[in-house]
């Protein structure tokens, strides 16, 4: 049984689309997605530096477009699809909830709104790796931050003001490391509330279908069968914590045997190797990985 997953913000790296754009069909889809988003995805996926693509308004459309184009190039059908944070939008398109153009319209509004919200106050996110889960949550709370992503596998991501994240780094939980992430704001917290109104308005004007593939929600890890419900959750997720741990739990309980992470792969498969023992993983990082990913999908689907 196969799951296809889409990474979230912070997974992007300078030049990560270079090898894929040598593929004619992939390049054509990126051009289509660029037109839909109004962003030069070729430029930002090949030439722009890490600091440039850290910009939320660029990073989010770039990540969603990359996952959508990668899924199309892969050509595999999975029993489950899930995305981490902004990756949920790519998952929604792969599952048939969004059209390609509506997925890009939605993520462009989300990215711009969250970038604007992040500009109001210096905020950020830090991964807390290791430590006892209860101690980690207590340390995050003591620092005045919020557990924005509960990822499982010994990783929780704290979000909050720069001051609060500095406090957390100065007083980390026992047996844990605190690592600042290359994101521009405290995503999945109330700091992002200004982004929700326009996103909800945009969602109301989109063509939304029920999913054709079982798709998981970051809010509680459950399978969502109603497209309108799923999109409503996407709007709320801007200010709500990501419960990737619960998504992984659902996949384990369903009997998933293999998980592919679309480009830029590595983050979610890394977590899965710790949290989903017995499940094989495959991260797509370059175009050279596509043939191996197809073989992996055929073995598990």
Active-site residues: which are they? Answer: 85, 188
Q: Which of 90, 154, 155, 87 is nearest to 125 (CA)?
A: 155
Q: CA 105 → CA 38, 40, 262, distances in Å?
A: 9, 14, 21
Residues 4 and 299: beta-carbon distance below 8 Å: no
Alpha carbons 198 and 183: distance in angstroms, whole number:
22
Q: Which of 292, 225, 289, 222 is nearest to 251 (CA)?
A: 222
Strands 80-83 and 2-6: parallel
Return the number of other C-beta atoms located less than 10 Å from residue 42's C-beta.
Answer: 15
Alpha carbons 182 and 184: distance in angstroms, whole number:
7
Question: Helices marked H in 54-132 — which ranges?
Answer: 56-74, 87-94, 100-120
């Amino acid at each position: 049984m196969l799951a296809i997953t889409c990474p979230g913000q912070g997974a992007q790296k300078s030049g990560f689309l270079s090898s894929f754009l040598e593929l004619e069909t992939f390049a054509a889809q990126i051009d289509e997605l660029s037109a839909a988003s109004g962003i030069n995805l070729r430029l930002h996926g090949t030439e722009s530096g890490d600091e440039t693509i850290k910009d939320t308004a660029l990073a989010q459309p770039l990540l969603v477009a990359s996952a959508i184009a990668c899924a199309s190039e892969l050509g595999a059908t999975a029993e489950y699809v899930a995305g981490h944070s902004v990756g949920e939008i790519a998952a929604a398109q792969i599952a048939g909830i969004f059209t390609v153009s509506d997925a890009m319209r939605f993520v462009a509004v989300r990215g711009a709104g969250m970038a604007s919200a992040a500009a109001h106050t210096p905020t950020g996110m830090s991964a807390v790796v290791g430590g006892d889960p209860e101690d980690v949550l207590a340390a995050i709370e003591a620092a005045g931050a919020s557990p924005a992503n509960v990822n499982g596998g010994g990783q929780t991501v704290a979000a909050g003001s720069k001051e609060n994240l500095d406090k957390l780094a100065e007083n980390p939980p026992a047996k844990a490391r605190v690592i600042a992430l290359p994101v521009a704001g405290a995503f999945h917290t109330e700091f992002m509330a200004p982004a929700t109104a326009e996103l909800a308005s945009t969602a109301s004007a989109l063509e939304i279908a029920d999913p054709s593939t079982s798709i998981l929600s970051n809010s509680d890890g459950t399978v969502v069968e109603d497209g309108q419900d799923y999109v409503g959750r996407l709007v709320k997720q801007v200010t709500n914590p990501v419960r990737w741990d619960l998504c992984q739990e659902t996949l384990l309980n369903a009997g998933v045997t293999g998980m592919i992470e679309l480009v830029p792969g590595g983050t979610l498969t890394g977590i899965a190797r710790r949290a989903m023992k017995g499940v094989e993983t495959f991260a797509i990082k370059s175009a050279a990985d596509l043939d191996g990913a197809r073989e992996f999908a055929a073995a598990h689907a």
